[in-house]
Amino acid sequence: MSMNSLLKSDSYISKTGRSLICGFVGGLAGTAVKSLIEQFLPVRNIEQRSAQIKIVDDLSTKITGTPISTQNEALAEQLVSLPVGGSLGAAYGYGKKDRHGLRPMDGVIFGATTWASTHETSLPILGLEPKPTEVPLRMQMNELFAHIAFGVTTELVRHYLENQLKD
């Protein structure tokens, strides 16, 4: 069986594979859009390092004995953001495998819940970001907006690719 016929089939495995692939690519696209928005809308104070950089910096220090260089911080941030965004998108795509049609509101909900479950809860609990009460409301809203754009982009790309793979 060829990959093309596998992805076009309506079997459980085909629908699952198609949904995971489309969601993963959608998540990568959503992450790119979120990163672009964060270039223009501040989501943290200038001196504050992102959670992604803290994670890679800690890992680098444990493996090599030295932290990442300042020049490599943007790359390090994407080394965490892209796989996380793609994985979240794949999970989202899997959840959408039996739900047909374009539903931008699902993307809004996906982005908002991703924001709430990371920046408002788990990252502060892990000490990777300040508590929500310590972050200015404007920056929180910028972060929420970027996450909603992530979710909507994930939904748009997922839906488009799903249609392309089925035809």
Classify residue 93 by burial, with Cβ atoms within 10 Å: 0-12, 13-18, 19+.
Answer: buried
The answer to whether 60 and 67 are in contact (CB under 8 A) is: yes
Answer whether residue 84 shows pLDDT above 90. Answer: yes
Q: Residue 96 — very low, low, confident or very high, per pLDDT cuts 50/70/90?
A: very high
Tokens of 42: 């501040």
Scored b (16 or more CB within 10 A) or e, 8-40 reads eeeeeebbebbbbbbbbbbbbbbbbbbbebbee
Could you tell me the pTM of the whole model? Answer: 0.90
Q: Where are the domains of the chain?
A: 13-47+81-166
Q: What is the pLDDT of residues 3-53, one digit of tens each?
A: 666 666 777 888 888 999 999 999 999 999 999 999 999 988 877 888 888
* Phi/psi at 109 (5° precision): -65, -40
More confident residue, 153 or 66: 153
What does the chain come to in residues?
Answer: 167
Determine the pLDDT at residue 3: 65
